Amino acid sequence: MAAERIALAKAGTPWPELERQLKAAGEHDVAWRTGRAPAFIHFAGDDVLDVAKRAYLMYFSENGLGLRAFGSLAKFESEVVAMGLALLHGGADARGAMTTGGTESIFLAVKAARDRAAAAGRRSGQPNIVLALSAHPAFDKAAHFLGLKTVRTPLAADFRADPQAIAAAVTPDTVMVVASAPAYPHGVMDPIAAIATAAAERGVWMHVDACVGGYIAPFARKLGAPIEPFDFAVPGVTSISADLHKYGYAAKGASTLFFADAASFAGMSYSFDNWPRGQYMTNTLVGTRAGGAIAAAWAVMNYLGEEGYLRVTRRVLDTREAYEQGVEGLGFRTLGRPELSILAFGSPSHDIAAIGRAMVRRGWLTGHVKNPPGLHLMLNLTHEPVIGEYLADLAASLQEAARTGGDDGGALKAVY
Ligand SMILES: Cc1ncc(COP(=O)(O)O)c(C=O)c1O
């Protein structure tokens, strides 16, 4: 980004003018309310959004760093964690905390696993994390920051992690094995039990990345979706990341990180006392935490309750099935067997990048997967009413791509 300088205005600007400018700045943003965003948004209805906003504003100024000062936030956090642990079958010794997002949850799980392995003193070389090709880059980011390396294993033909490949990649330097529930690229659930067994047999920390699935898969299972156990019900699972700001429908800045036992949980905390201002202790990477995000998560979970989550999940699953059937009806091929809210599909006959470019020209922001190439959708209730429009535009884009043979002068890179 250019190092442009903007001098702070001498005089302040009144709110009405700022509001006008704020609105104008967003005019060309993706029209997410009408389902044009393939990711980034998790909408469960205006009523849910309203609850999240009101709760957020009520605790806008409060700080989750100061739980000593804000017993309110301590209560909200401990209740959110308790509800999450109940959903994910945490045992009596299981613990957890709220973080600001999936990346922070993953970072802290990696840090805890690294520290446990270091304390056990089994390593000879650089510590590593073994994970499938489809796992989220947050693990590589954490590894990069924490002095580890990642070893990525190939996917099975169904795009799920291959437990044998993972088991074969584990060495005495492996501090963590990862499985995703589901993985972001194809929305498929990894074979958690087989991977957990492989990890347990080798005495390695097993993390389940349920950032996407943590607050939707339990409800999908209750609704009868054939999803295998993926949480602490599976022996060998040490930690789970589950994002509240995705399918928990909370305000952004909210995730949970859970541990099977108190000793593992201790690895997420940090304490320091060698300075004048007294003991500093956090369970998170960040210090100051938005009180609003904690309060909003608590409020939304209680507003929806089990019935609300089941209701929204039913609609999300139906929406994914409708998109899946619709794209297959047009000759596209679903990549893998998605079980929740994510759908990736390729074309056996046409240039999917050209189809994507034609969709962009029709006003849809597109998400992409690589190898094989496909379009990617992370669905929520904004996508429910526009399925007909989406499929009509996809059919027209397919025809356009067939006409131009993909030679429409564009280039499209798969970006997150
Ligand atoms: C499977 C998975 N893990 C982790 C993350 C990272 O979450 P965040 O963007 O909240 O840091 C994502 C984000 O989409 C994800 O899909």
Q: Which of 99, 110, 184, 380 to mutate to test the pocket of ligand 1 (most atoms within 8 A of CB)?
A: 184
Residues contacting 145, CB < 8 A, separation 6+: 107
The finding on whether 190 has its CB within 6 A of some atom of ligand 1 is: no
Residues contacting 173, CB < 8 A, separation 6+: 123, 124, 125, 126, 127, 128
Q: For domain 53-301, give the fold.
A: Aspartate Aminotransferase; domain 2 (3.40.640)
**Residues 21-46: tens digit of each pLDDT:** 999 999 999 999 999 999 999 999 99
pTM of the model: 0.97
Q: Can you give the pLDDT at residue 416?
A: 74
The closest residue, in CA terms, to atom 6 on ligand 1 is 102
**Mean pLDDT (whole number) for 174-183:** 98
Q: For domain 306-403, give the fold.
A: Aspartate Aminotransferase, domain 1 (3.90.1150)
Query: Distance (Å, rounded) from C-alpha 290 to C-alpha 234?
Result: 33
Ligand 1 centre distance from Cα of residue 73 (Å) = 24
Domains 53-301 and 306-403 share a fold: no
Q: Across all residues in the chain, what is the average pLDDT?
A: 96
Q: Can you give the pLDDT at residue 136?
A: 98
**Residues 151-170: tens digit of each pLDDT:** 999 999 999 999 999 999 99
Q: Which of 104, 211, 215, 341 to mutate to test the pocket of ligand 1 (most atoms within 8 A of CB)?
A: 211
The finding on whether 138 has its CB within 6 A of some atom of ligand 1 is: yes
Tokens of 77: 């956090």
Sorted by where each begins, the domain ranges of the chain are 53-301, 306-403
Query: Distance (Å, rounded) from C-alpha 360 to C-alpha 378?
Result: 17
**Mean pLDDT (whole number) for 379-393:** 98
Ligand 1 centre distance from Cα of residue 11 (Å) = 41
